[in-house]
Amino acid sequence: MRAICIKAHDKLITNADRDRIVTLFRRDSQSAYGVLPLTDSVCTYAGDLCYSHRLRSYDAVQLASVLVLRRETLLKRASPPIFVTADRDLITFATTEGLMIQYLRRDTIHI
């Protein structure tokens, strides 16, 4: 969603397009993705990650959430999650934490 908002801030798309895309993303997220609850332990983990990495708050929550998910999938012997982002810094932090990653170049995100 950040990439979409940046495109709107940079006037590469209209605010109406941004709002339409965000609405579609939120609707699709409810039906197509499993959503993890934001628990006290995820928030604590996110704060702890800030000791090791120069993370923005929301990025710390995203990273902590996927790390909790990875731990749960390993316990269930399921496939580990793949962390997807267009943020180069976040890719570095996720890689450092041992996550499988997929980088989306911002210039390849088409509206």
Tell me the average confidence (pLDDT) per consecutive run of 10 residues in the chain, 111 residues long.
87 95 88 84 96 94 94 91 86 92 64 51
Q: What was the pLDDT predicted at 30?
A: 81
Q: What is the pLDDT of residue 71?
A: 92
Residue 109: the pLDDT is 53
Query: So what's the pLDDT on residue 12?
Result: 92
pLDDT of residue 42: 95
- The answer to whether the CB of 89 falls within 8 A of the CB of 99 is no
Q: Spell out the domain ranges in the chain.
A: 1-34, 36-111
Helix residue ranges per DSSP H, 1-111: 2-9, 15-32, 40-52, 57-75, 88-96
Q: Looking at the DSSP assignment, which residues form a beta bridge with residue 27?
A: none
Amino acid in position 38: L
